[in-house]
Amino acid sequence: PIYLDHLASAPLAPAVLDAMLPWLSAAAVGNPHAAHRPGWRAAEAIDAARAEVAALVGAPPGAVLFTSGATEANTLALLGAAAPGGACVLSAVEHASALGCAPELRRRGHPVILLAVDGDGRVDPDRLADTLARQPAPALVSIMAANNEVGTRQPLAELAAVTRARGGRFHSDAAQAAGWGMVEATAMGLDLVSLSGHKLGGPMGIGALVVGEAVPLRPPSPGGGQQRGLRPGTLPTALCVGFGVACRLARAHAAADARRVAALRDRLWARLSAALPGLRRNGAPDGLPGCLSVALPGLDAADLLLGLPDLAAATGSACHSDAAEPSHVLRALGRSAEEAHGTLRFGLGRTTTAEEVERAAAWVIAAIHAGSPDGFRDIM
């Protein structure tokens, strides 16, 4: 199989597994919150991981709250940091885990405003400024660092500055961008940042919410005092350790890996676009290094991938493939339902090779040509 679905989940880096294994053994017993030597050992390992996570996004270690992933981090940020009575402003292309908070936010009295994006999926800072100027109270703004479906990056520092100028708080879902060294929380003025372990070579089931010092966060669950009561629950030592190592590796290799993976992404685009006239690219070409989203009107992308079970790629949706509705992201970019149904998303990653890219391109091109009984020109 050729695995080109790194944006849904990236493979666990071997060094991450090596670092985690000792913490899964019986010898590593010890609740990291317990006051004895085994507990302290676990707590020390978690503290070291916390420092690595913080370093990846340019934040102080004390700002890192471990969560089960970016979904929980987004929920914690939105439901926990919205100012009483204040609006929540989200871009229309946020991940479902952020957009899904809207009904609960409204129930709690927060007006929810969705910001439109341009044809590449970018939020205009002037549009955000206009929206915030109309709000009677400071707002919580949530705009992702880079989109998981089309790869487009947002002008984070500008958006955060506009938010600050109006007394608001700025949250960014950096699940996809952080692993490529694209996020500097303090330098960019970000108040809250969501991260996910399994998007950057760490294990599934762990992530973080980075919380700026001055940000009041209301804990969602009343029980347990761990992590200052802000995200109670016993921390999973092995997962935290693995996440920390993945962040260290990502930071060390971000620049070189991003260049190499972007070159492979551009090669895949070159192969596909040369053979498939009418193929269109979704999102800004300078987005996430590993993201290539392409649309071919008339194509049934889901059908195509069903016929290519050894090619792991995605359709016009995100991390789950059972949604029949055209993706909300592609619709927000102004794509038609037909284009959304004809969209394939390839997610390249650090382990992707040039040979895999060539083979994947050949499979897709052959399948599309074969799928059109009267010849490919019919579906152009």
Nearest distance in Å: CB 144, ligand PLP? 5
Amino acid at 89: V
Give the start-end residues of each E strand in 106-265.
Answer: 112-115, 140-142, 169-173, 192-196, 207-211
Active-site annotation, residues: 319
Q: By C-beta, is 144 or 162 nearer to ligand PLP? A: 144
Residues found near ligand PLP in the complex (CB under 6 A): 69-71, 95, 97, 144, 148, 173, 175-176, 196, 207, 319
Which residue type occupies 106?
A: R
Closer of 173 and 257 to ligand PLP (Cβ)? 173
Least distance to ligand PLP, CB of residue 178, Å: 10
Nearest in space to 348 (alpha carbons), one of 284, 266, 281, 244: 266
Strand partners, 169: 140
The residue among 152 and 196 lying less far from ligand PLP, judged by its C-beta, is 196
Nearer to ligand PLP, 275 or 323 (CB): 323
Q: Give least dist CB 196 to ligand PLP, A.
A: 3
3-state secondary structure of 112: strand
For the chain, strand residue ranges (E) read 2-3, 64-67, 88-91, 112-115, 140-142, 169-173, 192-196, 207-211, 280-282, 291-295, 311-312, 314-315, 343-347
User: How many CB atoms are located within 10 Å of the residue 354 CB?
Assistant: 12
Q: How far is the CB of 192 from ligand PLP (least distance, A)?
A: 13
The answer to whether 339 touches 297, Cβ cutoff 8 Å, is yes
Q: Which residue is nearest to ligand PLP (CB)?
A: 69
